[in-house]
Amino acid sequence: MEGDSQDQSIWPLQKFCFSLDIGDLQNIAFQEVTGLDVETEVIEYRASDSPRFSRVKMPGISKFGNVTLKKGIFVKDNKFWEWFEQIEMNTIKRAPAVIKLLDEMGNSTMVWTLTNAFPVKITGTDLKSDGDEVAVETLEIAHEGMTIQHG
């Protein structure tokens, strides 16, 4: 179509093809990843001699949300339970978590790297005698920072 200003080679990324590595565990099959967010707290301040009748807003400490991962349950696959069971007061094996968004050729288009990730919650599947769904468990991990790389 002539006059179309949209470059036909540029399309939004698809989000359904991704891979996940946590520490030594590579290419773990997950159904869903949520919680890749960061926010900065706002500090409000007003000096007593300020001519303005409103506060000044400044960026404060950044905080990272927990990341939630969902995957199918496989027979004799207890890797995450074993990791979770290592938790003792203020001690846990921390590991980098690398989430890669892949294109149709399997190449990384975006990479989220979570620093010092550790499990904080595991939720087993629900059980229903009349259900026909796959058994899915949920793993929630905390981390201390996130970097994002493109391509």
In angstroms, the Cα distances linking 125 to 1, 72, 136, 150 are 50, 9, 5, 34
User: How far from each other are the two terminal CA atoms of the chain, in whole angstroms?
Assistant: 30
Residue 7 has pLDDT above 70, yes or no: no
Asked if 89 and 70 count as a contact pair (C-beta separation under 8 A), the reply is: no
Which tokens belong to 9? 């080679």
Q: What percent of the chain has pLDDT over 70?
A: 92
**Helix, strand or coil for residue 66?**
coil
Residue 113 has pLDDT above 60, yes or no: yes
pLDDT the model gives residue 69:
92
| pLDDT tens, position by position, 9-23 | 676 667 778 889 998
Mean pLDDT, residues 114-131 taken together: 89
pLDDT the model gives residue 13:
67
Residue 116 has pLDDT above 90, yes or no: yes
Domains of the chain: 18-36+55-150 (2.30.110.20)
Q: What percent of the chain has pLDDT over 90?
A: 39
| pLDDT tens, position by position, 70-99 | 988 888 778 888 888 888 877 888 999 999
Total-model pTM: 0.77
